[in-house]
Amino acid sequence: MLRLHDTAKGEVVELTLRDTGKMSMYVCGLTVYDVPHIGHGRAALVYDVLRRYLEWSGLAVRHVSNITDIDDQIINRATEQGRSAEEVAQQYEAAWYDATDRLGVLRPTADPHATAYVDDMVSTVEQLVRGGHAYETSDGVYFAVESIDGYGLLAQQSLDDLRAGARVEVTKEKRSPLDFALWKKAKPGEPEWPSPWGPGRPGWHTECVVMSLDLLGDGFDLHTGGLDLQFPHHENERAQAVALGRTFARHWMHHAFVEVGGEKMSKSLKNFTSLPDLLSRHDARAYRLLVLRSHYRSPMEVTPDTIADAEGQLERFDSFARRHPAPPPGTPLDDDLVARFRAFMDDDLDTPPALGLLFEELRRANVARDTGVIATVHALAGALGLWPRGADQIDAETARDMAERDAARAARDWARADEIRARLQARGWVVEDGADGTTVHR
Ligand SMILES: [Zn+2]
């Protein structure tokens, strides 16, 4: 079973699941006010690799990732540009999914939007106020961090240390500088929703706790995000769950940042900071390879050299796949190789040596032409979300449709076969009938 570094425990522990065979994961999503940067791309890829690996291992993964479509930054951007917050959010959400689709990142099972959850968030804030965990001020409603035990668990700091390090604020109304807004009263012209405290909008920390518990239920398996979310965002989500008497995430996982090297480097890297820009210049798979080449808890260096190097590695992978296409599904894999790959992946998702192993075996397969090794290299690459150029990734639904269509044709049920063809075409596949049955490509 997979072992992951758990931020709440400060050590690598076995991932124990709430429900056997099922993994529920909440990935803190994007605030959609600008084009995504390469750090967002890393986040999407780290959890895509985790999900794919677990699915490949036979688990059913429920992956929820929110879209924060109401926030101060969105409102500021809308004001600057003289348009509505809704328009800004829609534009950048589309840019986000466009980029993650190009990266081959599986879409979340559910992507709750904050604006669709305002009523639930208002009820949650009311409950916290009633329970004595929150109080109203002139500009909103705040959570009293000292009203619960154990604030500081994720920060791995005591309440006293956190208080000493907190920024002293101008407002005298907050009981502790660490108290955070659950509800923000609207200023004139800002988007607003009704509440018992007057028109306003919910705070970001309330959004994620409400949506994760609603969609994944109490005691869901894994809550994830970047290191910058560990404190205060995740600490504050957890604090609300504690105050509500709910059981929150069983495990916490945080990934490190993308770093830009020395001064000279950063100048040229200016081009690399926007994710769509990077993807317009390079094979999206090269970025996935770069992410895999760093352990998720280590900073990752993106430079023109590292990107070029990853592209060179991709070329080796593609040329291998041209010489040795994936054998038909069902071809027995090399068990020893699979076991060695799993040992790396199960050790806190240690992708660099797992990838190293894959490329070592690719060299071996080129020489030995062993069908088992060839099939295994293709399978392991797929478990990491990596496919050779030209090989369209066939999802489970498509594979099912193809099999069903072959069965219909074998039974000479042409109407049914045509119906399935139309369904595949509607999802963007070009459908062909070959000697081996239905084949599809983009
Ligand atoms: Zn969040």
How does DSSP classify residue 24?
Answer: E
Percent residues over pLDDT 90 in the chain = 73
- Residue 329: what pLDDT? 82
Å from CA of 31 to ligand 1 middle: 10
* Cis, bond preceding 232 (omega within 30 deg of 0): yes
Å from CA of 270 to ligand 1 middle: 28
List the domains of the chain with CATH numbers. Answer: 3-255 (3.40.50.620), 259-383 (1.20.120.640), 396-441 (no CATH)
What's the pLDDT tens digit per position in 402-414? 889 989 998 999 9
Q: Which two tokens stand for residue 341?
A: 């790959």
Å from CA of 233 to ligand 1 middle: 7
Å from CA of 234 to ligand 1 middle: 7
Å from CA of 110 to ligand 1 middle: 14
Q: Do 71 and 26 meet the contact criterion of CB atoms below 8 Å apart?
A: no
What's the pLDDT tens digit per position in 269-299? 565 688 999 999 999 999 999 999 999 999 9
Antiparallel, parallel or unpaired: β 180-185 and 140-143: antiparallel
- String of b and e for 9-19 (b: at least 16 CB within 10 Å)? eeeeeebebee
Arithmetic mean of pLDDT, 126-142: 97
Å from CA of 299 to ligand 1 middle: 21
pTM over 0.85, yes/no: yes
Å from CA of 49 to ligand 1 middle: 20
Å from CA of 40 to ligand 1 middle: 14
Å from CA of 229 to ligand 1 middle: 7
Å from CA of 257 to ligand 1 middle: 17
Å from CA of 436 to ligand 1 middle: 47
Instruction: Using DSSP, state whether 180 is helix, strand or coil.
Output: strand
Question: Taking ligand 1, which is a single-atom ion, which protein residues have CB atoms under 5 Å away?
Answer: 28, 208
